[in-house]
Amino acid sequence: MTRTRMTASERSAQVLEAAIRAFSESGYAATKTDEIARLAGVSQPYVIRLFGTKQQLFIACLLEVCARIEEVFRGAEIAPGADAEQGLHALGKGFEVFLAERELPLVLLHGVAASADPIIGDHMRERFGRMYQLIGELTGADTAQSRHFVATGMLLTIMTAMQVAGSNAIPLPWATEILADLRTATTPD
């Protein structure tokens, strides 16, 4: 059997995917680069050679997660001539894709938690701001509408992290009530 070697970019993507998985489970402080290397099937020195420090690898994961959110938002099917509410509804449907990829919201939350680190915090604040601005650009939403959309998205992100929303949710009455209310509130007339 002939084995084909991965390209450097394929190997880098493999390590990044393993890092997202590891950071989603343990957070920034508790995750070790040797654990990421084991998950990726490479050596720990190779992980460091690719990304430098654990901090740089974590930032790469945050940027990947934020890029994925932006990709989902940009891919939302907003009808030509749609008003802000219709546009936000389309973005909200796209956000379900992000929540289904449970590791992504967890890394986002770990990024928020690690924002006390000046370098991580600078990246997190910049990318969060970009996502917030993108909402208004794509939908024409005003500040109040964008703020409400972000607040709802963060509520869903937290609920997904707690495993009461998204795939494999634990059905709890309070969570079911919130999710039903959100569905009702976001269903267009």
Evaluate whether residue 170 is within a structural domain.
yes
pLDDT tens-digit map of 131-164: 999 999 999 999 999 999 999 999 998 998 899 9
Identify the CA nearest to 102 among candidates 28, 35, 24, 176.
Answer: 24
Amino acid at 75: G
Q: CA–CA separation, 143 vs 152, rounded Å?
A: 14
Evaluate whether residue 2 is within a structural domain.
no
pTM of the entire structure? 0.88
Evaluate whether residue 121 is within a structural domain.
yes
Evaluate whether residue 39 is within a structural domain.
yes
Domain containing 159 — which CATH number? 1.10.357.10
pLDDT tens-digit map of 96-118: 777 788 888 899 999 999 999 99
| Residue 170: other Cβ atoms inside 10 A | 9
Evaluate whether residue 3 is within a structural domain.
no
CA–CA distances in Å: residue 131 to residues 53, 71, 95, 147: 26, 10, 12, 12
Q: Number of folded domains in the chain?
A: 1
Evaluate whether residue 131 is within a structural domain.
yes
- Higher-confidence residue: 32 or 167? 32
Q: CA–CA separation, 156 vs 178, rounded Å?
A: 10
The domain containing residue 146 runs over which residues? Answer: 8-186
Evaluate whether residue 141 is within a structural domain.
yes
Evaluate whether residue 1 is within a structural domain.
no
pLDDT tens-digit map of 27-63: 999 999 999 999 999 999 999 999 999 999 999 999 9
